[in-house]
Chain A
Amino acid sequence: MASRSEPGEPATASAPVTTDSGIPVAPVYTADDVAGGTAAQAARLGLPGQPPFTRGPYASMYRGRLWTMRQFAGYGSAEETNARFHFLLGRGQTALSVAFDLPTQLGYDSGHDIARAEVGRVGVAIDTAEDMADLFAGLRLDEVSVNFTINATAPVILATYLVAAERQGVRYDQLSGTLQNDILKEFLARKAYVFPPGPSMRLAADVVEYASQLLPRFNPISITGYHAREAGCSAVQELGLTMASAVAYCEELTARGLGFDRFAPRLSFHFATTLDLFEEVAKLRAARRLWYRIATQRFGAADPAAARLRFFSGNSGTTLTAQQPLNNVIRSTIQCLGAVLGGAQSIHVMGYDEAFEIPSKEAVTLSLRTQQIVALETGVTRTADPLAGSFFVERLTDEIEARAEAVLAEIEDAGGAVRALELGIPQRWITEAAYQAEQEIAAGRRPKVGVNVHVSEDADGPAQGMELFHLDPGVAERQIARTRQRLAARDGRAHARAMQRLSQDAGAGRNVMPALVEAARAGATVGEMSDVFRALFGEFREPSPW
């Protein structure tokens, strides 16, 4: 492990050397560090594609198929984001990942007073199914896999996507992709929640149940530790909290009478990959083994695919710095490598300019090129799980699995993921860890090149010479005008009928998806459909952190 002292100074003998999440690291590891000897270790590992999937979900891993390169993208209106999609696919990206603006994420139409300042800023503005159809113009939805980072309004957005597919003549069973649909991590960390936890869980489960019947190639949920990690928690807490959420969703679904093997093969996961390379690789390997044990022991998974964890890796934005921004390219490359060594199914690499703006075209191209260089030039794809058997990595994998399980137990002792969130327990862990990290950076105990070590004074500011992204200021007005035209053109009676059915189904506790699809088909807006749920469920307010 690298010295934590200033360059040129010897590490002080008294300072304990640990991973980023506080696991002690010895100067060297040997065969003696493998618990239970090599036979026990072989059982804990298995082979790639075989239980307990420690070594990867598929036998051939990247020899069989490279990971999916999926840069998160979206801004302005559907047309502008569609152009960005074509640009990325033209440069070798292999799937799409949609970023939505905050009004869309929170169920407001672009014309709403609270929405105007945010239209098209952190993602694309979607008001209707027609916007969704425009988003995929010139792309075949039976050919391109699409990830949707959408949670509180996930059922509404899924409905608009299904209607866009219908307009292309694509059948539901031909659709592939992932809907994030993980509302628990919104309460935990990402904070784009709308409705209270109880009804939110119901909506998330409605989507998974519906997809288990009609969308066999689509992942209807991506259970996510990424945002808790970005908000400040450790790798161990990230894994424990993700598993606590997974347990909560699976309990909600099995309580409906849905068989675990019916829906679990389509569960997907999302983890951060940060800079502590070996800890991250160990965490991702431990995640697969821990999920295998939970799926088989608690939920009685009989189909191995129901216990096989597949995940998307996002690089960490919080490891990147505003100072000396080109350094971020190197940070992102190491994180991409970590995700690959950890066996990711799809990867996003952060833009080096994201301390200032959403990534420019140049920055997003470089992110994609980073993935392509790691995939094609380094040879890391030639064999599955290349770090297996490393005394250090195996020891760390065992350690993280045990510690994450203890985090899960702590959440369950508090009453499970939903109750713990209501009590604010994991939120406090996250905030305290974030504060501690910032204090360590300020005190120089946690080295950040360009920030607290190897600092260079740049009188003109760190972004000098960088071509940053600029949002067209006319986007909100154009989007509002377009939606107004579309509302004027819709069949008022069909719309009213569909909205009435949506209210009735939602109120009666029926699965909301069929009514949402009908409403989206009839031209209902994201705001109108979300307002039905607002009226019925109310809105959540977070308790004060102090």
Chain B
Amino acid sequence: MRPPRVLLAKPGLDGHDRGIKVVGMALRDAGAEVIYLGLRATAAQIVRAAVEEDADVIGISSLSGAHMPIAEQLLAAMGVAGLDAPLVIGGTIPPDDVTALRRLGVAAVFPVGTPLPGVVAGVLGLARLAGSGTAA
């Protein structure tokens, strides 16, 4: 069985990448393969890379407050491409938006303050489900 494969990206214009890099390093140390697309990734770039890399989970980070439109655009692009990998989001996300993102179809939200082991366990748990073909 191959290791879980996680695609990470920063969509939008936000440059705060401390969090996503730390999460990427922790996922690698936990045995995942991590592909990081870097800053200002578009929805089309993320979807293409997720298909090409056969990602089990897509993780994005936003600290600029633009997470709602970004998630909507990305989920729409994933739908068009028939991509069913779960999408997770981390960053500066107010409590009301955590609920709203979950309702949109985001599989997990990790706002500022989520302990690092919790993020790793959450992402790897989703990756295992996706990898075994039982993801929704």
Contacts of B24 in A (CB 8 A): 545-546
Interface flag for A504 (CB, 8 Å): no
Complex formed: what's the CA distance from A355 to B63 in Å?
9
Decide: B13 and A355 in contact? CB cutoff 8 A: no
Query: Of the candidates A232, A322, A442, which one forms a contact with B113 in the assembled complex, judged by CB atoms under 8 Å apart?
Result: A322
Decide: B25 and A435 in contact? CB cutoff 8 A: yes
In chain A, positions 102-139 with a C-beta closer than 8 Å to chain B are 102-103, 105-106, 108, 114-118, 121-122
Least CB separation from B23: chain A residue:
A438
Contacts A118-B64, A544-B38 given; indicate if A355 touches B15 (C-beta within 8 A). no
What does DSSP make chain A's interface, helix, strand, loop or mixed? loop
> How many inter-chain contacts with C-beta < 8 Å in the A-B complex?
103
Interface flag for B70 (CB, 8 Å): yes
Decide: B18 and A434 in contact? CB cutoff 8 A: yes
Decide: B116 and A544 in contact? CB cutoff 8 A: no
What does DSSP make chain B's interface, helix, strand, loop or mixed? loop
Complex formed: what's the CA distance from A190 to B15 in Å?
6
Of B21, B25, B113, chain A has the most CB atoms within 10 Å of the CB of B113
Query: Of the candidates A230, A439, A462, A541, which one forms a contact with B18 in the assembled complex, judged by CB atoms under 8 Å apart?
Result: A230
Complex formed: what's the CA distance from A321 to B111 in Å?
11
Contacts of A362 in B (CB 8 A): none
Decide: B38 and A121 in contact? CB cutoff 8 A: no
Contacts of B113 in A (CB 8 A): 321-323, 355, 451, 462
Interface flag for A373 (CB, 8 Å): no
Least CB separation from B66: chain A residue:
A117
Interface size on A, residues (CB 8 A): 46
Decide: A546 and B65 in contact? CB cutoff 8 A: no
Decide: B18 and A356 in contact? CB cutoff 8 A: no
Contacts of B15 in A (CB 8 A): 186, 190-192
Decide: B38 and A357 in contact? CB cutoff 8 A: no
Decide: A546 and B66 in contact? CB cutoff 8 A: no
Contacts A318-B18, A358-B65 given; indicate if A468 touches B38 (C-beta within 8 A). no
In chain B, positions 8-38 with a C-beta closer than 8 Å to chain A are 12-18, 21-22, 24-26, 28, 34, 36, 38
Contacts of A463 in B (CB 8 A): 94-95
Decide: B26 and A542 in contact? CB cutoff 8 A: no
Interface flag for B82 (CB, 8 Å): no
Decide: A442 and B39 in contact? CB cutoff 8 A: no
Decide: A322 and B18 in contact? CB cutoff 8 A: no
Interface flag for A461 (CB, 8 Å): yes
Decide: A191 and B111 in contact? CB cutoff 8 A: no
Interface flag for B105 (CB, 8 Å): no
Complex formed: what's the CA distance from A349 to B95 in Å?
24
Decide: B22 and A438 in contact? CB cutoff 8 A: yes
Decide: B94 and A102 in contact? CB cutoff 8 A: no
Decide: B21 and A545 in contact? CB cutoff 8 A: yes
Complex formed: what's the CA distance from A358 to B113 in Å?
16
CB distance from A100 to the nearest CB of B (A): 11
Decide: B64 and A231 in contact? CB cutoff 8 A: no
CB distance from A338 to the nearest CB of B (A): 22
CB distance from A259 to the nearest CB of B (A): 35
Contacts A114-B13, A434-B22 given; indicate if A191 touches B39 (C-beta within 8 A). yes
Interface flag for A330 (CB, 8 Å): no
Interface flag for B115 (CB, 8 Å): yes
Contacts of B34 in A (CB 8 A): 546
Decide: B95 and A356 in contact? CB cutoff 8 A: yes
Least CB separation from A324: chain B residue:
B113
Least CB separation from B25: chain A residue:
A435
Interface flag for A431 (CB, 8 Å): yes
Contacts of A190 in B (CB 8 A): 15
Q: Which 9 A-B pairs have the closest CB atoms?
A: A191-B15, A322-B113, A102-B13, A117-B69, A117-B66, A121-B65, A355-B112, A435-B25, A356-B94
**23 contacting pairs across A/B (C-beta < 8 A):** A102-B12, A102-B14, A108-B13, A114-B40, A117-B73, A118-B12, A191-B15, A192-B15, A230-B18, A318-B18, A322-B113, A355-B112, A356-B93, A357-B92, A431-B18, A431-B25, A435-B25, A438-B22, A441-B116, A468-B94, A542-B39, A544-B36, A544-B38
A residues touching B (Cβ–Cβ < 8 Å)?
102-103, 105-106, 108, 114-118, 121-122, 186, 190-192, 230-232, 318, 321-323, 354-358, 431, 434-435, 438-439, 441-442, 451, 461-463, 468, 471, 541-542, 544-546
